[in-house]
């Protein structure tokens, strides 16, 4: 069972996260595709805090005694997944950068040869 303090803290953190994400989107500092993850996470935390029985049921289903332990495990799991997918995305971007640099070098060499 979640204490009222934990429930209030989860709601405040979720609403704060949601507000910060919306502000970053409006300032064009974050793409909507990237923000969806954080918005969904904030909504899930709001659901868990407004309806603590959902979190209790998930904890029981996984054999976790304390709901707070489930919430920490859930947060750790979600963040590990986020880091994993970000690593994949970074690797893809690095490959694209490498290809672009090579293409630019070839174009520059071609330009230099035409110049002479």
In this prediction, residues 24-49 reach a mean pLDDT of: 91
Under the banding of pLDDT at 50, 70 and 90, the label for residue 34 is confident
Tell me the pLDDT tens digit for each residue of 83-97. 999 999 999 999 999
Number of domains composing the chain = 1
Q: Which pLDDT value is given to residue 33?
A: 86
On whether residue 92 sits in a domain, the answer given is no
Tell me the pLDDT tens digit for each residue of 7-19. 999 999 999 999 9
On whether residue 67 sits in a domain, the answer given is yes
- Which residues contact residue 103 at a Cβ distance below 8 angstroms, ignoring those fewer than 6 apart? none
Q: Which pLDDT value is given to residue 75?
A: 93
- Which residues contact residue 69 at a Cβ distance below 8 angstroms, ignoring those fewer than 6 apart? 59
**By three-state DSSP, how is residue 28 classified?**
coil
On whether residue 20 sits in a domain, the answer given is yes
Q: From CA 116, how far away is CA 113, in angstroms rounded?
A: 5
Q: From CA 99, how far away is CA 23, in angstroms rounded?
A: 34
Burial 56-79 (b: 16+ CB within 10 A, else e): bebbeeeebeebeebbeebeeeee
A 10 A CB-CB count for 46 gives: 17
On whether residue 14 sits in a domain, the answer given is yes
On whether residue 76 sits in a domain, the answer given is yes
On whether residue 90 sits in a domain, the answer given is no
On whether residue 101 sits in a domain, the answer given is no
On whether residue 74 sits in a domain, the answer given is yes
In which domain, by residue range, is 47 found? 4-85
Under the banding of pLDDT at 50, 70 and 90, the label for residue 24 is very high
């Amino acid at each position: 069972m979640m204490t009222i303090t934990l429930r209030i803290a989860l709601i405040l953190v979720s609403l704060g996260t949601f507000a910060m994400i919306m502000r970053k989107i409006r300032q064009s500092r974050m793409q909507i595709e990237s923000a969806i993850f954080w918005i969904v996470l904030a909504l899930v935390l709001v659901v868990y805090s407004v309806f603590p029985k959902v979190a209790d049921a998930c904890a029981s289903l996984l054999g976790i005694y304390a709901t707070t332990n489930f919430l920490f495990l859930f947060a750790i799991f979600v963040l590990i997944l986020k880091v994993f997918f970000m690593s994949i995305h970074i690797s893809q971007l690095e490959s694209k950068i490498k290809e672009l640099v090579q293409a630019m070098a070839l174009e520059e060499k071609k330009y230099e040869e035409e110049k002479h």
